[in-house]
Amino acid sequence: MSALIEGSWDTARSVAVNSFQRLPHEIIDLNLCVDRTLATDAQSMCDLPTYATSAMDGYAVCGDGPWLIIGEVKAGLPMKEALNDGQAVGIATGAVIPDGTRGIIRWENALVTEKSLQGDVIEGQDVRPPAHECQAGDTLINSGTKLNPAMIGLLAAGGLDQIEVVRKPKVAIVLLGDEIQLSGVPSDGLVRDALGPQLPGWLAKLGCEVVSTQYISDERQLVVDALSSACKLADIVITTGGTAHGPRDFLHDALQIIDAEILVDTVAVRPGHPMLLARKENVAIVGLPGNPQSAIVALVSLGGPVITSLLGQMQEDLSSVITNNDLTAPDNFTRLIIGNVVDGRFVMAHYLGSAMLRGLAHSTGFAVVTKSLTKTGESVRWLSLP
């Protein structure tokens, strides 16, 4: 497979999502599965509802009225005997319907005098039949789905205690550069590290687990050693800086030395043009440019699809949004413009430079612009930040 060299942004993303296989699964407790990706279809262990239950607080009645109230049925305490004609029992929402029940008369519609009940009822009124929502064996959630709290509740109701989820991708971060200062106010020509503190958060949102972080000076052998050790620890190695071909950019040399295959080498996109994707056996190596906004563009452009593939998720098509601004892109380039969707329309952020952080900090995604001029009121694609 030859490397994609300065290909289109869409083609590069296609290479990223199609170059890696889903990771193995693990079985974990259901209450730990929020935001995890389902590895196999989850099927209900029982009918839902499992029994015929009352949809309302009221009275279960048998036959025609008036009825004699003979007791009460609470949720979780089914009545063992069947109702006979002319009998009624008070019943709570969710309680099991006694055999012989014609329907439910709600509390607010019931006329009660001592133990005598009167009211109107029709067959099956306010009765939730068994298996109304699903039958045992029905698929509740398909594999590849990222689980939310409501899905966890559904699976619990279906009788599941543990489920199979895809193992979280393990990520090793390698931050390159001689100019990085790790704390305090930068001085003496250094710049404060802004990627080391934020990358773990983005990666967690994407469903990953960061297992190591290394800070490496721009020396060829140090880069080689860092990549070699990172590839032994992780499913994905994220590097920052060194992706271009300057005199102190050694990432390409290091990848060749460790026998990594370069899949994408620069992309026709701004910002983030010198992004890179490589593969060392089954390990993905995602090279992010050093400028902060460029780095995050590269992370969502190439890293996002790689992670989607490793998790066995479907790569979703981007949605469309109407722009509130005139937007431009260089000829034959895609431009990702940071901003927000406000009242259904894209609003461009301030501080768009590739080294700037303020626009990124106050935005929720990118307009994906491919035309040299997209006028206000026209449609663009929208790429949400995780």
Domain boundaries, the chain: 4-24+168-310, 26-45+133-166, 53-128, 319-384
In this predicted model, what pLDDT tens digit does every residue of 282-295 receive, in sequence order?
Answer: 999 999 999 999 99
Q: Are 380 and 311 in contact (CB under 8 A)?
A: no
Q: Are 182 and 216 in contact (CB under 8 A)?
A: no
- Structure tokens that stand for 167 in this block: 């193992």
Report d(CA 308, CA 205) in Å as an integer: 12
Report d(CA 114, CA 67) in Å as an integer: 11
Written out in words, the top-level CATH class of the domain with range 26-45+133-166 is: alpha beta
Written out in words, the top-level CATH class of the domain with range 319-384 is: mainly beta
> Which strand (E) or helix (H) includes residue 308?
helix 304-310
In this predicted model, what pLDDT tens digit does every residue of 140-170 receive, in sequence order?
Answer: 999 999 999 999 999 999 999 999 999 999 9
Q: How far is CA 380 from CA 263, 293, 312, in A?
A: 28, 20, 28
pLDDT at 333 over 80: yes
Written out in words, the top-level CATH class of the domain with range 4-24+168-310 is: alpha beta
Is domain 53-128 in CATH 3.40.50.300, yes or no? no
Q: Which residues pair with 383 in a beta bridge?
A: 366
In this predicted model, what pLDDT tens digit does every residue of 61-107 receive, in sequence order?
Answer: 999 989 999 999 998 899 999 999 999 999 999 999 999 999 999 99
pLDDT at 247: 75
Q: Which residues pair with 345 in a beta bridge?
A: 322, 342
pLDDT at 51 over 70: yes
Residues ≥6 apart with Cβ < 8 Å to 179: 189, 190, 191
Q: Are 71 and 89 in contact (CB under 8 A)?
A: yes
Report d(CA 374, CA 370) in Å as an integer: 8
pLDDT at 246 over 80: no
Strands 58-61 and 103-106: antiparallel
Cβ-count burial of 248 within 10 angstroms (0-12 exposed, 13-18 middle, 19+ buried)? Answer: middle
pLDDT at 311: 98
pLDDT at 96: 96
Q: What one-character DSSP code corresponds to residue 300?
A: I
pLDDT at 117: 96
In this predicted model, what pLDDT tens digit does every residue of 2-14 receive, in sequence order?
Answer: 688 889 999 999 9
Residues ≥6 apart with Cβ < 8 Å to 353: 293
- HSE at residue 207, side-chain half, CA atoms within 13 A, is 30
Q: What's the mean per-residue pLDDT of the chain?
A: 94
pLDDT at 268 over 90: yes
Q: Mean per-residue pLDDT for 267-278?
A: 96
Q: Mean per-residue pLDDT for 125-140?
A: 95
Report d(CA 302, CA 340) in Å as an integer: 21
3-class state of residue 203 by DSSP: helix
pLDDT at 121: 94
> How many other CB atoms sit within 10 Å of the CB of residue 197?
10
Percent of the chain at pLDDT exceeding 70: 99
pLDDT at 61: 97
pLDDT at 179: 80
pLDDT at 11: 96
Residue listed under structure tokens 């990358």: 199
Cβ-count burial of 337 within 10 angstroms (0-12 exposed, 13-18 middle, 19+ buried)? Answer: buried
Q: What one-character DSSP code corresponds to residue 317?
A: P
Could you list the beta-strand ranges (E) of 236-297.
Answer: 236-240, 261-267, 269-270, 276-280, 283-288
pLDDT at 5: 82
Instruction: Give the confidence band of 200 by pLDDT, cuts at 50, 70, 90.
Output: very high
Instruction: Give the confidence band of 1 by pLDDT, cuts at 50, 70, 90.
Output: low
Q: Which residues pair with 69 in a beta bridge?
A: 88
- HSE at residue 66, side-chain half, CA atoms within 13 A, is 11
Q: Mean per-residue pLDDT for 172-186?
A: 88
Q: What one-character DSSP code corresponds to residue 139?
A: E
- Structure tokens that stand for 29 in this block: 């407790």
In this predicted model, what pLDDT tens digit does every residue of 361-378 receive, in sequence order?
Answer: 999 999 999 999 999 999
pLDDT at 242: 85
